[in-house]
Structure 1
Amino acid sequence: MASILLSFVGNQDPISGPTDAEGSIMTLLRELVARQIEIKKVVLLYTTETQKGAEDTRDWIATEAELKQFEVELIPTSAALSEDPTDLLAAAQEARRGLKIVKTQFTEGDSPKERLRQRIEFNASSGTPAMKSALSMLQAAGYATQGRVWQVRNPKKLRPGQERVFETDVTVLRQEFDRQKLRQLVAEYNYSGALDLVAQCDLTIDETAIALLKACKTWNQGQFQAFYEQAEFKLDKSQKNQTKTYWWQAYEQGCTAVVRLKQGNSTEAMLHSFRAVEGLLFEWVKQHCSEHIKDGKDEFAYDQVNISIARQFPDLKEHFKSGTNPWQNLARWMNLKILECAAPEVFDDPDFRGWLNADDRRNQLSHYLGGISEKVLCQAWSVGNGEEWEARLLRCLNLLAEQNFGTFQNGALLPVIHHHLEKALAP
């Protein structure tokens, strides 16, 4: 298995003045050879201050019988790192640059099978603390999955039973990076990305958190009933009872619109906000006029309303087709006509009028290519900003559902499950 050694050069290379012993680069090379690890190349990163040490290290390697066959490449670091060798960001940037160079040399002339067997040996004991940390961070962050991080102990500080050269396990550090990324993905409501990260990384995640992640992913796909069934174990009695109402999924749809706006997707926010109100209007009619309504034949067919409803609301009779068929499609316009007859006061509500006025804009915008900006979304709803839009949407749903939720945090179930998920993933 061929390896390339990547290391910064420190002031103790190639020989340490305080110990009068070989520095960490030479010591590590001898140890790798002793372990019968095939070395393909040695790549050394040096600053202005350590250039002489880098050249001396290269020359020293060339004089050693067991090491002289190794090709040594010296790479100068940036002026920024030379000016301040303690700059962690500059050290990390140079470490990444060195890693890219190493990876390029690995792929040149090597077969795919050979590439799978290659390793990068990181020497994390030469250079300033920033340089040493940078190499460990590269490995922990997953930039070199086939890399190994090595430490070389000061020979004068060795204790009984300690090895002079040993491999550092950065798994714990890498897992912490992955956990931070996982929590960030959840904070952004990117549940699919979070599940993908868990599958790709060696993370130990509580089964409850996995179950909640899967439930939230289902919610993000708009499958609210399936979401409830997956997340039911974390809901209290009143929250479970909420799912027995005709209106509960409208709040999930409205919450979806709010989440999409938080994600910067105002086009989908527009879509879901209208689906929430329009869908709830449909459910309101079915709830209040159920004796006149029958289900459509399949999910692509309209439900049907019977002309018998005109006995209760005579103004509706003119909207039925002439002939012997007493049924009419329960389309959006018919829902509005029924609502106007059954609850005319709704049309005096400023928030509902805002939704009605925006509906014309929605239809117009739907025929255009391209996205819908947050500004246009708010203009369509006759509000000044996203917070006012969210409040207007919530009040529209409260009006039709005859509820009094103050926020979507109370009205929808997703925020409840999202909170439980964040607690399960907390440090």
Structure 2
Amino acid sequence: MNIWIVTTGSSDVQLQSDESWHDWYDRSSVKRNCENLPFKPTQILEDSDEPYRVAPRVLGKVYESQGEEVWQYLEFPLLRQFTTQLQSKRITKIYLLVTDQTEKFNEEREDRRCPYWQDTCELQPIFKRYFEEQEEFHNVELIPIYLSPEINKPGLDDWDHVLEIVRTAFSEEIKLEPDTVYVSHQAGTPAISSAVQFMSLARFGERVKFLVSNEYEKKPLPPIESSQYLKGIKFEQAKALLKNHDYAGVKLLINDYLNSETKILLDVAIQWNFAKFDEFVKTLLQHPDGNLVKKINDRTLQKNWWWTAYEEGYLAVVRLQQKNTVEAMFHSFRAVEGLIREWAVWKYKAQIRNSNPNQPRTLYFHKENINMSPELNYWFERFSNKTYSNVGLFGEPLFELLKASHSPGKWHNNSDIKTVAKITKEERNSTFHQLLGLEELELFAAWNTKNPKDWEKRVLSCLNFISGQSFDLSIECPLKEASLMFQVHKELEKVIAPNNLP
């Protein structure tokens, strides 16, 4: 079963000649019913062989008054091309979209420029007769769909409102699930044409074929498969998702259109979004770009034990961009606390092990094979479990180990790490022990900052202090530049959103 959706406009029904127009228009009550306005046929190019155009509502009224006499002068330049194309397509239903703005333009009709006069609803009897006289279509059911804006709503040139009108019309009038949907959308306002294209694709997907014509050369063009339209729409949607770092959404939309290299990038981006940084790197190393792989290898060398914390920090920035402040708090604090844990393993490798079988993921510091400074010895005595003679590396003991391992001057001269150890740690505990949301200002206050820029720089400063690295704090979005994921994101933009700036 195949159907045809037809938009209609002022160019669909034309006149071969204007020689009898004044007699038709002045007869009976036609002119009076048209507010006595001086409607007359016009040509796009005067003194040419082109047919004449006249306001559709007026032409419909003239045909209603003098049907047979008018019929012999009518031309259907677009419809004739399309019906020729569809003669062997076994169309079972034709959905004819006609406009009727009677309710909206109830008081403006004394102006012949009023959109009311361009409505095509009065042409419906002409369309009905046209299809009845076509051998291939005379038994095809013709179903009119009226596009009628309400009096206090925008008209048919408003893109957003027309999309809603067409969406409602399609939902209420087209109940079938046909094999192929032919759509001729060239007639009508640009807003109607666009809405019909969009809703046809949204409703019927790859079953749609668009009919297009070169009206002036009087020559139909091959139907356009919906795949190219769908691809363009999906990529536009994917751009917005990519900008919001919704990589899973991008994959769902356009994965079938991507090459293997881009699919790898999309897969690793999804892993990164779940903070699966080891899998992120493992998969990324399969990418054929040697330069990209070298960057990954160089960053993830064993000596660079700190690299995952910078990914976690940038993930916090992304969550804030997504307005997810709770996760922004979680990932930013986790980046710092997690990096202290990685630092402890790196610095005190011989003293740290998983010594509690009931808590296999908890690391413990043991006072073995080490000459401890007075500060470190004080730390151990303060936090150690007297029964097991060890210190669990989480929470306050972890932060205090970092403090005890640095010279007093270095620690006290860094306001960023001091703030996190004294303020952020407590705010984090408070936040994650209550079932409440978190305002942006509360997030910034927890880090003793006032805005996103200062918050991000404080997070990066802490990571630099712990790792001993020197990623630039003075640039815009510094955590982005410190992240491997940003390189991946830029590569995805080249393919999916080449005109978007980072």
TM-score of the aligned structures, taking structure 1 as reference length = 0.83
Distance 1:102 1:26, change over 3 A: farther
CA-CA distance at 1:281 after TM superposition: 1.1
Distance 1:121 1:99, change over 3 A: farther
1:189 is the counterpart of 2:260: no
In structure 1, what is the Cα distance between the partners aligned to 2:336 and 2:202? 45
Aligned length: 405
In terms of mean alpha carbon deviation, does 126-135 or 378-387 score higher?
126-135
> Which residue is equivalent to 1:322?
386
2:418 maps to amino acid: R
Q: Select which of 323, 327, 333 maps to 2:396.
A: 333
Conserved? CA contact 2:166–2:195, under 8 Å: no
Q: From the CA coordinates, give the structure whose radius of gyration is larger.
A: 2
| Secondary structure, counterpart of 2:471 in structure 1 | coil
In structure 2, what is the Cα distance between the partners aligned to 1:182 and 1:165? 30
Conserved? CA contact 1:45–1:98, under 8 Å: no
Q: Select which of 411, 415, 420 maps to 1:346.
A: 411
Could you tell me which runs of 5 or more consecutive residues in structure 1 were left unpaired when the two chains were aligned. Answer: 108-114
| Secondary structure, counterpart of 1:235 in structure 2 | helix
CA-CA distance at 1:354 after TM superposition: 1.7
1:289 maps to amino acid: Y
1:102 is the counterpart of 2:102: no
Q: Select which of 488, 494, 497 maps to 1:417.
A: 488
CA-CA distance at 1:405 after TM superposition: 0.3
Distance 1:174 1:322, change over 3 A: closer
Conserved? CA contact 2:99–2:148, under 8 Å: yes
Conserved? CA contact 1:255–1:408, under 8 Å: yes
In structure 2, what is the Cα distance between the partners aligned to 1:294 and 1:76? 73
In structure 1, what is the Cα distance between the partners aligned to 2:169 and 2:424? 56
In terms of mean alpha carbon deviation, does 50-59 or 364-373 score higher?
50-59
> Which residue is equivalent to 2:268?
215
CA-CA distance at 1:347 after TM superposition: 4.5
In terms of mean alpha carbon deviation, does 355-364 or 389-398 score higher?
355-364
Conserved? CA contact 2:269–2:485, under 8 Å: yes
> Which residue is equivalent to 2:342?
283
In structure 2, what is the Cα distance between the partners aligned to 1:220 and 1:235? 19
> Which residue is equivalent to 1:111?
none
> Which residue is equivalent to 1:392?
458
> Which residue is equivalent to 1:123?
184
Q: Select which of 122, 136, 148 maps to 2:209.
A: 148
1:358 is the counterpart of 2:424: yes
In terms of mean alpha carbon deviation, does 20-29 or 181-190 score higher?
20-29
Distance 1:305 1:262, change over 3 A: same
**Cα deviation digits, residues 80-118 of structure 1 (max 9, x gap):** 9x9987x3x44x7436634542343343xxxxxxx4435
The structure where helix makes up a greater share of residues is 1
Distance 1:362 1:128, change over 3 A: closer
Conserved? CA contact 2:93–2:140, under 8 Å: no
CA-CA distance at 1:78 after TM superposition: 2.8
Distance 1:330 1:132, change over 3 A: closer
Distance 1:213 1:93, change over 3 A: same
Identity of counterpart residues, as a percentage?
21
> Which residue is equivalent to 2:128?
58
1:51 maps to amino acid: C
> Which residue is equivalent to 2:317?
258
**Cα deviation digits, residues 400-423 of structure 1 (max 9, x gap):** 111110122332211122222222
1:308 maps to amino acid: E
TM-score of the aligned structures, taking structure 2 as reference length = 0.71
Could you tell me which runs of 5 or more consecutive residues in structure 2 were left unpaired when the two chains were aligned. Answer: 17-49, 52-73, 101-115, 473-477
Distance 1:218 1:304, change over 3 A: same
